[in-house]
Structure 1
Amino acid sequence: YAGKDDPTFATGEGAAWALAWFESAVPSESYVNLIPTVNGGTHESGLRAGVFEAMKSFIDHHTLLPRGVKLQQEDVCGRMSFVLSARLLDPQFQGQVKEKLNSREAVKLVSSQLRDPFEIWLNNHVEAGRAIAELSIKQALARQKSAQKVEKKKTSGVAVLPGKLSDCESEDLADNELFLVEGDSAGGSAKMARNKETQAILPLRGKVQNAWEIDPDRLFANAEIHDIAVALGVDAHKADSDVDLSGLRYGKVVIMSDADVDGAHIQTLLLTLFFRHFPKLIERGHVYVAQPPLYRVDVPAQGKKRPPRRLYALDEGELAAIRERLEKEGFKPDAIEIGRFKGLGEMNPDQLRETTMDPATRRVLPVKVRSGALQDTLKMFTLLMGKGEASGRRAWMEEKGDSVEADV
């Protein structure tokens, strides 16, 4: 736990934990201020990060890693079970039932408090450390072998990847992510913010063509759609077809656009493309939408115990909640600086990584069709995206226009 002289965290903040490794998966459990967090959260991300860094240092120190093998966090933590109890001064949870921790500072808190003690323990118990290392290396070798099998299937006759694609190094489908980014400016920031190991960036120039009524045979005449399909490694298909997704190169496809009306339009056009021509990607849970924040809140230091903070708000509602919370903490409204992002390209790489790309702290929404709502979804897409539906759209907007939240 943090002591009185800790410059980053308040006295008493920290964590207690118990770790164990097994041949087969064993459930874990975590708590924040004794509140059970059954859906995990950022404190668990911090624990895994601290364990991985300590384990990697131990393996490097004892030169246990075979040549050509690259260790990833999942290799070390995939067979790990833990009990974690974190203490935070001001925890932020997702939802009313407090089942998942969202506090970004918990990642650094838990990882920093865990890493050194665990590394010392490993070096004092070398035999146990070697056993954990062997299990981790075994997982890494199995993962690389699996990736090589996939590579053999996709090498023959594969199309040349788009030149503007910044691909990731990993070939592990479970970890790989493709970000479809609005604009070259945001694409440049995303390339600097990404994890090169597992995250690929494909910048999109302008708005993708409305693909709702495009003939499948003419789909790839559009350069942007062609590049998306080639990068994914999947052919266009129909919902009722028995499509082969073995060539899929990324486990997650993340649509990343500005938090404004134009960004929402680009999201809609890309979701139209996937729903109409790549429906199995949505059905099998591969498509996500990033949620970049609209506001940045700079909070000044509050004595030696509370250094300056930077908070982010998704919308006006979150901004109001942050203001209210800071007032309760004793901050005057004029002491807090609030900035509004005009777009992703305005964020520096560190901000983009923290808010939109880092799996530990970002917010992304999985895209799925509601159970039993396929026909309703088809009708809505036809109404909104069909060329011959102008009168229907007008009637719908007249009826529903008062319920729309538009950032005009």
Structure 2
Amino acid sequence: MAVTPTYDESSFRVLKGLEPVRERPGMYTRTDSPAHIIQEVIDNSADEALGGHAKNLHVLLHLDGSITVTDDGRGIPVGLHPDEKIPVVVLAFTRLHAGGKFDKSTGNSAYAFSGGLHGVGVAVTNALSTRVSVEVRREGKIWAIEFSGGGESVGALTEVGSCGRQSGTRVRVWPDPKYFDAPKVPPAELERLLRSKAVLLPGVKVRLDIEQADGSIQTKTWSYPSGLAGYLAELAGNAEAVAPLYAAEKYADADHADFAAGEGAAWAIGWHIDAVASESYVNLIPTVAGGTHESGLRAGAFEAVKSFIEHRALLPRGVKLQQDDVCSRMAFVLSARILDPQFQGQVKEKLNSREAVKLVSSMIRDPFEIWLNQHVEAGKAIADISIKQALARQKNAQKVEKKKQSGVAVLPGKLSDCESTDIAENELFLVEGDSAGGSAKMARNKETQAILPLRGKVLNSWEVEAGRLFANNEIHDIAVALGVDPHGPADSPDLSGLRYGKLIIMSDADVDGAHIQTLLLTLFYRHFPALIRHGHIHIAQPPLYRIDVPASGKKRPARRLYALDEGELVAIKDRLIKEGIRAEAVEVGRFKGLGEMNPDQLRETAMAPATRRVLPVVDAPGADEITLKLFNLLMGKGEASSRRAWMELNGHLVEADL
């Protein structure tokens, strides 16, 4: 007979120091190779260069798989921390959430513009390495310290010599292979990273040395005198250019009304016949998954090109220009500087900061429009390729429309349909309540977003036969609006009549809203499973709280932030306190529902693709049987007693917002 493990006070384990990183490395870094833990060290050196304190960045790839990163910056402070009474260099490498990049309320802090957010960077590097050796040159002295055993063993900080007026930091890292799929850093990835640092740091010399088996050193250095434009030209290679590249930069000054001094962007953009790779960065951190700064660049470029086309009456009658028409052939290198960037996860592959859309779009729009008007031939060439793209899109959409014309049911009267017929970009929002539906209609992009308000709760359709579904008005309207007939899990239904690429359930962030979500998901899982299978169903995540942050001098204007839930609210408050904003000066408002949001707030938080939060609904691989059992338990009419037992067992886990 199996022994059931006891569940008591001793079952709880508290992870201390760097143990959380070693226990769950994937939460803190990429584990395919040690590339990202080395990038954390390189980023620190690059931040010194970004602040104007370093002119050289040197990386040495040793034969044994260890890596040395050296810079001639200010050197990590070695004195005792005033509160912790531990040398600051020890704190940096052994404590999570300790760093020099928190206090960014002004442009004058130690690191006003950096990718560092949470103070976990090199501490993670240390936790996942067998050994880390640090040498600091600072204030005329050379200091050395060794960490081993994943940061558990900390050597003595010792003075080992004098360095005159030299300064800087040298860090050698021996990654622990047991935490990574591949034990060594891929040289090609390291080269890409270092080359990008050279592009983004004019005047900084970047060098990579690789030890060879015969004892020789293979050296590569990077320098881009023409900056981003030269780099984009290199990325483009032999691709045929439609117009000359446009490169510029613009940053806010101390008197800017909306942004802190120094915030802004540098960019190079170009249009090519063939596809060319694009790259973006935030405070020198490569954002390989893009984010809101890229959305801002596209929005600003689109507005400038659209204005150029309209002023010269180049658009044929009946053609409506969309952002993708202008930007689908646009290649770019973007380097944004943001005072307090918010990334998706510690790996920082995607920027989430909502303010970045407005920041980058406002910086590029006017200068680019001026450039287009000064280079009319280039402007007309860009306009020509954009208009051709729009005509091709409309032609494809018309083909789809002809297929759908025969036997189409009359669309529901309460549906506010979108103008576009392109399935790839059309979205249908199922909105709880008429008042929220009214806000959503004003907040939407009429071109691509349709609104279908739902009056009351949808019928529980788990045990309703497919033939009787349409007796319910709400389900009838949803099915007709979608253009898809009900079907079973084993069927292969005809989805050619589907009118929207995304169906987004948008309900209040409370118990009633969760119930409506559950009823709609029951409908789609039971009667329209192909929509889930093909990734068409999504759930909007409107915030529960609005946080109004007062202005703190000219360099930090008033802001409005949003928190999804209580946990996120606490995190935002903590961050604001670290920025130097008094807790009592921050006003927190709670949304009772979507209807309480004005259209601008609803657009920003739940509808605009660049800034909203939307969860895709997907089938968990191999979980069909479990999912079916759970739906049966929760939605089946004859399962009341089982449901009650389940609620009694699991009720304490619910944090219901009543």
Normalised to the residue count of structure 1, the TM-score between the two structures is: 0.98
Distance across 1 between alignment mates of 2:582 and 2:309? 49
Alignment of 1:249-268 (within 5 A): 249-268=499-518
What secondary structure does 1:100 align onto?
Answer: coil
Amino acid at match of 2:451: I
Distance across 1 between alignment mates of 2:473 and 2:353? 41
1:369 equivalent in alignment to 2:634: no
Q: Partner of 2:364 in structure 1? A: 114
Amino acid at match of 1:35: I
Amino acid at match of 1:52: F
For 1:82-118, what per-residue CA distance to the aligned partner results, in whole angstroms no more than 9, with x for missing partners? 1111000111112222111111111111001111121
Q: Partner of 2:433 in structure 1? A: 183
Range moving further from structure 2, 69-78 or 122-131: 122-131
Amino acid at match of 1:253: L
For 1:228-273, what per-residue CA distance to the aligned partner results, in whole angstroms no more than 9, with x for missing partners? 0001111111122121111111111000000001100000000110
Q: Partner of 2:482 in structure 1? A: 232
Asked whether the equivalents of residues 46 and 108 of structure 1 are also in contact (C-alpha less than 8 Å), the reply is yes
Q: Partner of 2:605 in structure 1? A: 355
Amino acid at match of 1:179: F
Alignment of 1:17-166 (within 5 A): 17-166=267-416
Change (3 A) 1:24 1:282: farther
For 1:276-330, what per-residue CA distance to the aligned partner results, in whole angstroms no more than 9, with x for missing partners? 1111111111110000000011111111122211110000011001110111111
Range moving further from structure 2, 168-177 or 44-53: 168-177
Range moving further from structure 2, 380-389 or 318-327: 380-389
Asked whether the equivalents of residues 418 and 446 of structure 2 are also in contact (C-alpha less than 8 Å), the reply is yes
1:308 equivalent in alignment to 2:575: no
Distance across 2 between alignment mates of 1:390 and 1:254? 30
Structure richer in helix, relative to its length: 1
Q: Partner of 1:343 in structure 2? A: 593
Distance across 2 between alignment mates of 1:235 and 1:78? 33
1:387 equivalent in alignment to 2:643: no
Aligned-pair identity in percent equals 79
Amino acid at match of 1:343: G
Distance across 2 between alignment mates of 1:136 and 1:44? 19
1:9 equivalent in alignment to 2:288: no
Q: Partner of 2:41 in structure 1? A: none
Task: Please list every run of 5 or more consecutive structure 2 residues that lacks an aligned counterpart in the other structure.
Answer: 1-250
Normalised to the residue count of structure 2, the TM-score between the two structures is: 0.61
What secondary structure does 2:468 align onto?
Answer: helix
For 1:66-86, what per-residue CA distance to the aligned partner results, in whole angstroms no more than 9, with x for missing partners? 111100001111121211110
What secondary structure does 1:57 align onto?
Answer: helix
Alignment of 1:270-281 (within 5 A): 270-281=520-531
Amino acid at match of 1:123: N
Q: Partner of 1:397 in structure 2? A: 647
Distance across 1 between alignment mates of 2:549 and 2:599? 20
Alignment of 1:291-330 (within 5 A): 291-330=541-580
For 1:207-235, what per-residue CA distance to the aligned partner results, in whole angstroms no more than 9, with x for missing partners? 00011111000011000000000011111
Range moving further from structure 2, 210-219 or 298-307: 298-307
Amino acid at match of 1:337: E
Distance across 2 between alignment mates of 1:219 and 1:11? 59
Structure 1 residue 275: Cα displacement: 0.8
Asked whether the equivalents of residues 43 and 101 of structure 1 are also in contact (C-alpha less than 8 Å), the reply is yes
Range moving further from structure 2, 200-209 or 376-385: 376-385
Asked whether the equivalents of residues 290 and 364 of structure 1 are also in contact (C-alpha less than 8 Å), the reply is yes
Distance across 1 between alignment mates of 2:490 and 2:276? 37
Task: Please list every run of 5 or more consecutive structure 1 residues that lacks an aligned counterpart in the other structure.
Answer: none
What secondary structure does 1:271 align onto?
Answer: helix
Distance across 1 between alignment mates of 2:630 and 2:283? 45
Structure 1 residue 126: Cα displacement: 2.0
Structure 1 runs (4+) deviating above 6 angstroms are none
Distance across 1 between alignment mates of 2:273 and 2:655? 51
Range moving further from structure 2, 223-232 or 31-40: 31-40
Asked whether the equivalents of residues 369 and 377 of structure 1 are also in contact (C-alpha less than 8 Å), the reply is no
Asked whether the equivalents of residues 265 and 336 of structure 2 are also in contact (C-alpha less than 8 Å), the reply is yes
Distance across 2 between alignment mates of 1:73 and 1:50? 10
Change (3 A) 1:4 1:331: closer
1:169 equivalent in alignment to 2:419: yes
Q: How many residue pairs were aligned?
A: 408
Q: Partner of 2:447 in structure 1? A: 197
Q: Partner of 1:287 in structure 2? A: 537
Q: Partner of 1:210 in structure 2? A: 460
Structure 1 residue 7: Cα displacement: 1.7
For 1:126-151, what per-residue CA distance to the aligned partner results, in whole angstroms no more than 9, with x for missing partners? 22222221111111111101111111
What secondary structure does 1:5 align onto?
Answer: coil
Asked whether the equivalents of residues 267 and 333 of structure 2 are also in contact (C-alpha less than 8 Å), the reply is yes
Asked whether the equivalents of residues 254 and 554 of structure 2 are also in contact (C-alpha less than 8 Å), the reply is no
Distance across 2 between alignment mates of 1:328 and 1:153? 58
